[in-house]
């Protein structure tokens, strides 16, 4: 992995709309074969960032190299190596699913076989249905089919499962894993934590156009090694501290109370806790001096 250059390398990406920065200085490095999640609340700028990397939106500042080229100036050859599944609902031609996929296959130099695409997207049984009569979830699968028909090295999935029922979401996740298994690099924007946990090798949390944290999904924000919250009651008042050393804190509390600590809880953060903390803008409580000392 170290021998191949990153698929995506971006520094200081910035994009303004009407004077408001939607993307406010983002750095990203994405390696070949990774499933990389851009996680953030609605309006955080993750779709804008993905749009810049996919060559669809311009940028006001910053450097970007995607598959060895600047996406703002890349040509048809470059576009044939990426696939995009847009967030917005997109009209499909009033033809059969198979005819639509076959038509789009004709845009690419080395497309996947149409039946293989329909199988990957879970549309084999609907191949002869008219595309505009598909249900919402099936329509989304057709979006995916059109995103992967060109055998992309890099696939952008922009909030792909919004509005899916749980079953459809699991099916979709399996599709993404299948694509990752054959070496497709996937950039996934989402606001679903469970989607990140299920799919992403690495995750970047974005809020207000800035990166709040980035790293392997299972250790995001120091989840495995980082701060644990220890809570207790002192004179009936709830107290808590965030600490890297919960065992030491509990021992000190135990010493201070000479035995049982009233209302003691030790809470390791879930991904959700980490995420909510990362996107929260209110100032955080720091470790109280009397205990940290």
- Contacts with another protein, residue ranges (CB under 8 A): 15, 17, 48, 51, 54-58, 76-77, 79-84, 86, 88-91, 93-95, 103-104, 106-110, 146, 150-153
State which H helix or E strand residue 240 sits in.
strand 237-243
User: Please, is 264 exposed, middle or buried when counting C-beta atoms within 10 Å of its C-beta (0-12, 13-18, 19+)?
Assistant: middle
Min separation Cβ 198 and another protein, Å: 25
- Compute the least distance from the CB of residue 110 to another protein, in Å: 3
Place of tokens 């946990």: 197
Could you identify the residue written with the tokens 């979401």? 169
- The edge-to-edge listing of strands for the beta sheet with 185-190 is 82-85, 154-158, 185-190, 35-39, 202-207, 210-216
Nearer to another protein, 75 or 283 (CB): 75
CB of 210 to another protein, least distance (A): 18
157 closest CA partner among 86, 71, 57, 81 = 86
Q: How far is the CB of 125 from another protein (least distance, A)?
A: 22
Report the residue number, 38 or 146, with the smaller CB distance to another protein: 146
Q: How many residues does the chain have?
A: 293
Q: Which residues contact 153 (CB under 8 A, 6 or more apart)?
A: 7, 32, 67, 81, 82, 183, 184, 185
Least Cβ distance, residue 134 to another protein (angstroms): 15
180/249 with CB nearer another protein: 180
Burial profile 222-243: b = 16 or more Cβ within 10 angstroms, e = fewer: ebeeebbbbebeeeeeeebbbb
As given in the structure block, the two tokens for residue 30 are: 């994405």
Shortest Å, Cβ 274 to another protein: 31
Nearer to another protein, 38 or 84 (CB): 84
Q: Compare residues 95 and 250 and give the one whose CB is closer to another protein.
A: 95
Token representation of residue 252: 């000190």
Shortest approach of another protein to residue 224 CB, angstroms?
36
Residue 231 backbone dihedrals phi, psi, to 5 degrees = -120, 150
Class of residue 201 by CB neighbours under 10 A (exposed 0-12, middle 13-18, buried 19+)? middle
Alpha-carbon gap, residue 144 to 155, rounded angstroms: 10
For residues 117 and 274, which CB has a smaller minimum distance to another protein in the complex? 117
Residue with Cβ nearer another protein (94 or 268): 94
């Amino acid at each position: 992995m170290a021998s191949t250059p990153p698929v995506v390398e971006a520094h200081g990406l910035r994009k303004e709309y009407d004077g408001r920065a939607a993307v406010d200085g983002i750095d990203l490095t994405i390696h070949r074969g990774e499933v990389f999640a851009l996680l953030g609340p609605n309006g955080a700028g993750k779709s804008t960032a993905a749009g810049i990397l996919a060559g669809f939106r311009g940028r006001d500042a910053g450097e970007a190299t995607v598959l060895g080229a600047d996406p703002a100036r890349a040509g048809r050859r470059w576009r044939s190596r990426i696939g995009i599944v847009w967030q917005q609902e997109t009209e499909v031609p009033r033809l059969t699913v198979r005819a639509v996929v076959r038509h789009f296959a004709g845009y690419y130099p080395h497309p996947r076989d149409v039946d293989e695409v329909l199988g990957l997207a879970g549309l084999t049984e609907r191949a002869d249905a008219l595309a505009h009569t598909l249900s919402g979830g099936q329509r989304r699968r057709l979006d995916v089919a059109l995103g992967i028909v060109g055998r992309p090295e890099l696939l952008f999935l922009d909030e792909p499962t919004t509005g899916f029922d749980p079953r459809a979401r699991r099916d979709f996740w399996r599709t993404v894993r299948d694509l990752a298994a054959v070496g497709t690099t996937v950039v996934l924007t989402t606001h679903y934590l469970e989607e990140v946990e299920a799919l992403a090798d690495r995750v970047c949390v974005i809020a207000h156009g800035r990166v709040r944290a980035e790293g392997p999904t299972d250790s995001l924000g120091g989840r495995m090694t980082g701060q644990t919250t220890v809570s207790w009651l002192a004179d009936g008042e709830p107290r808590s501290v965030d600490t890297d050393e919960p065992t030491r804190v509990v021992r000190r509390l135990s010493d201070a109370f000479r035995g049982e600590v009233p209302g003691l809880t030790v809470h390791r953060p879930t991904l959700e806790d980490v995420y909510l903390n990362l996107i929260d803008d209110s100032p955080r409580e720091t470790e109280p001096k009397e205990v940290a000392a």
